[in-house]
Amino acid sequence: MDYKKIFIEAFNQHNKDKCVEIAIEVIEKNIFTIPYFYEEILKKTLYSIDDCHDGDCIWKEHVKTSIARTVIECLYPYIIKIKNQATPLKQIVVLACPEKEYHEIGLKMIDDFFTILGYKTIFIGTNTPKNQVLNAVLRTKPKYLAISVTDYYLLFEAQKMIQNVKSAYKDIIIIVGGRAFKYNLDSIKEIGGDIYLETFEDFIKLREGDKNEISV
Ligand code: B12
């Protein structure tokens, strides 16, 4: 059975129930891993939303986004299962998007990547006032602040967020990712990012370096 094709068809027909059923089936039966399902199917399906040429693109985009969110949330019990089998790490990761950034599905996916690999995550999400991110960092003392930026025009908001955090908490390591950086890698250093990750393989390599650390 071509699960990828069936999922994409269901997604494009706005068939939420079918999308959820397929997602659960492929994970239950170990047909795909969650990272593979996210990166190779769900992400690519979301990118293909651009391929719309009628006057109904916006409402359809919202419906599809909502289906993607439901699918991700429905897979969370499987994330817990994998997490409980992994060796827990000591490191904490806070995840946030800068002010005015409403794209958060990528951040939700990587929240699950970190969790699968044994990190403790604190997901704050979209459009977060920079002082609130700073407060979260000061209270929870994470090793990493993971920032997702999709819209290129919001890189300066990410820069303000990073400056705000780094000026008050020097030990933080800023991981950045998202569409805004993909074709614009020079901006990472300019805005104060320390590490750029893109694929689940990149996260595995990060974990290799973290697994032997004893304290946060
Ligand atoms: C869904 C979507 C929306 C949804 C978002 C809903 C939500 N809750 O997330 C809604 C409808 C809200 C939306 C709004 C808008 N959108 Co929009 N949207 C998209 C769309 C179709 C898909 C984005 C997505 O979810 N991708 C899937 C995720 C999983 O991919 P990803 O983010 O790249 O994440 C992966 C990696 O990058 C990485 N990653 C991501 N974050 C991080 C962070 C770290 C730390 C790490 C390590 C890795 C990492 O891991 C993920 C898994 O591999 C894209 C189309 C496209 N081609 O990208 C347009 C797109 C991003 N949107 C766009 C625009 C213009 C807008 C609006 C301005 C439209 C408008 N006029 O109102 C608003 C902006 C709102 C705002 N201020 O943010 C443009 C952006 C252009 C630009 N300037 O850069 C795009 C590209 C469409 C286009 N072709 O023009 N959008």
Domain that holds residue 153: 86-210
pLDDT in tens, 48-102: 988 888 888 999 999 999 999 999 999 999 999 999 998 899 899 999 999 999 9
Q: 189 and 123 in one domain?
A: yes
Residue 215 domain-assigned?
Answer: no
Residue 142 beta carbon below 6 angstroms from any ligand 1 atom: no
Q: 95 and 74 in one domain?
A: no
Residue 107 beta carbon below 6 angstroms from any ligand 1 atom: yes
Is the pLDDT confidence value at 215 over 60?
Answer: no
Q: State the pLDDT confidence band at 214, using cuts at 50, 70 and 90.
A: low
Encode 59-87: b = buried (16+ Cβ within 10 Å), e = exposed: eeeeebbebbeebbeebeebbeebbeeee
CATH of the domain at 197: 3.40.50.280
Residue 216 domain-assigned?
Answer: no
pLDDT in tens, 130-150: 999 999 999 999 999 999 999
Residue 147 beta carbon below 6 angstroms from any ligand 1 atom: yes
Residue 8 domain-assigned?
Answer: yes
Q: 93 and 198 in one domain?
A: yes
103 CA to middle of ligand 1, Å? 5
pTM of the shown model: 0.96
How many domains, in total, are found in the chain? 2
The amino acid at 84? N
Residue 138 domain-assigned?
Answer: yes
212 CA to middle of ligand 1, Å? 35
Q: 120 and 202 in one domain?
A: yes
Q: 94 and 78 in one domain?
A: no
